[in-house]
Structure 1
Amino acid sequence: MKRFLATFAISLAVATAASAQDVADMSDLEYAHIAYTADNIDIRYAHLALALSENPDIHEFANTMIRDHTAVNAAALGLLDKLGASAQDNAFSQTLNSNAEEIINNLSQLRGAEFDKAYAANELAYHQAVNELVENTMIPNIDNAEVKALFEQGLEIFKAHEGHAEMMVESLN
């Protein structure tokens, strides 16, 4: 578990350190890709939790992650279609995916309470980092009003996830 948390912290630090200023300079379409990628990663974490955990609270949280992140991605794709635009892949999205692979590999090695604690800690740290990036870097730099509104709505949902993950971490310790 300590190795997992250290790996996660390093992965997250690499992603965010290489990003804050770079992300601030990106376009709305690059932001859309980052958000879509981040949602899909959390959906993958949730499916892993459903497969490996026997804890009903973990299952409830994971199902919430799948439902909410899928809904936000569907809304984002609908907006992009309405705008006649496509999300643009970028180095930050690629770094997120690369780091997620390592985290999933590490989580996959854990079982029982050790998995539950690591999953909950990952969810808390992940939501904290993504919410911080969305709130303080992306939203202030989004040009399109409809895209900005979608990000603001998503942030409200994901801040609730962060609070839920924090309670989960506390209950598992």
Structure 2
Amino acid sequence: MKNSFILAIALFISTFEVAAAPATLDDAQIAAIAVAANEVDINAAKLAESKSSNREVKAFAHRMIADHSGVIKEATALVTKLKVTPEENVVSKSVRSDGQKNLDRLSKLDGKLFNKAYIQDEIVFHKQVLNLIDEKLLPSAKNEELQALLVKVRAAVASHLEHAEKIQPVVDEMRDPGK
């Protein structure tokens, strides 16, 4: 039953249109993708903070809001310094669209089903973001400071993935969402 639940969730989660992206992205497009990915995760975390009564889920969501807000602040400072205006593109639009679809789906869930779906979504999302960083963003980034920020962000995303994977079994086993 657990595997069928996870499979059902995976079918609802689209993958970013990484394959549809140009072979290389410019720094303005990379900035737009970074902002989109961080905003998507902040929005999901805000929903989790408001809907969940599970302390593990709430703590994880709080961390996502704080960490991703910090990344947006750093990225904004960098693009301002570099005089780069984020440029929407197929990947950033896909990230936002997928994020909205997941928010719409999550908003219809409650209790344990919400908690399980949110954490599973976070695992999938962070794996997708790591792939995006490795396959498209880092190889395309031209500016050394942007590359350094992406490397720093990659480490944080990997840490978020590890955290979500660590609490997933705990969330899955909780009978009462308030415990």
- The structure having more radius of gyration, on CA atoms, is 2
Q: Which moved further from structure 2: 96-105 or 116-125?
A: 96-105
CA RMSD of aligned residues (A): 1.4
1:103 is aligned to 102
Displacement of 1:91 in angstroms is 1.7
Compute the TM-score of the two structures, normalised by the length of structure 1. 0.91
1:24-43 per-residue CA deviation (whole Å, 9 max, x = no partner) reads 42111101100110000000
Displacement of 1:3 in angstroms is 4.4
- State the alpha-carbon separation in 2 of the partners of residues 3 and 21 from structure 1: 25
2:175 is aligned to none
Bigger helix share: 1
- Would the aligned equivalents of 2:21 and 2:90 in 1 still touch at CA under 8 Å? no
- Would the aligned equivalents of 2:24 and 2:136 in 1 still touch at CA under 8 Å? no
1:41 is aligned to 40
Work out which of the residue numbers 2, 7, 12 in structure 2 matches 1:7: 12
- Would the aligned equivalents of 1:4 and 1:106 in 2 still touch at CA under 8 Å? no
- State the alpha-carbon separation in 2 of the partners of residues 108 and 158 from structure 1: 24
Displacement of 1:23 in angstroms is 4.7
- State the alpha-carbon separation in 1 of the partners of residues 22 and 119 from structure 2: 27
- State the alpha-carbon separation in 1 of the partners of residues 22 and 163 from structure 2: 27
- The 3-state SS of whatever aligns with 2:142 is coil
- State the alpha-carbon separation in 2 of the partners of residues 92 and 133 from structure 1: 9
Q: Which moved further from structure 2: 95-104 or 118-127?
A: 95-104
- Would the aligned equivalents of 1:43 and 1:66 in 2 still touch at CA under 8 Å? yes
- The 3-state SS of whatever aligns with 1:109 is coil
State the percentage of identical aligned residues: 30
Report the residue type matching 1:97 in the other structure: R
- Would the aligned equivalents of 2:29 and 2:87 in 1 still touch at CA under 8 Å? yes
- State the alpha-carbon separation in 2 of the partners of residues 139 and 95 from structure 1: 19
- The 3-state SS of whatever aligns with 1:22 is coil
1:65 is aligned to 64
- State the alpha-carbon separation in 1 of the partners of residues 28 and 81 from structure 2: 13
1:56-93 per-residue CA deviation (whole Å, 9 max, x = no partner) reads 11111001000000001100000111111111111211
- Would the aligned equivalents of 2:32 and 2:88 in 1 still touch at CA under 8 Å? yes
- State the alpha-carbon separation in 2 of the partners of residues 168 and 20 from structure 1: 31
- State the alpha-carbon separation in 2 of the partners of residues 91 and 133 from structure 1: 13
- State the alpha-carbon separation in 1 of the partners of residues 140 and 90 from structure 2: 18
1:115 is aligned to 114
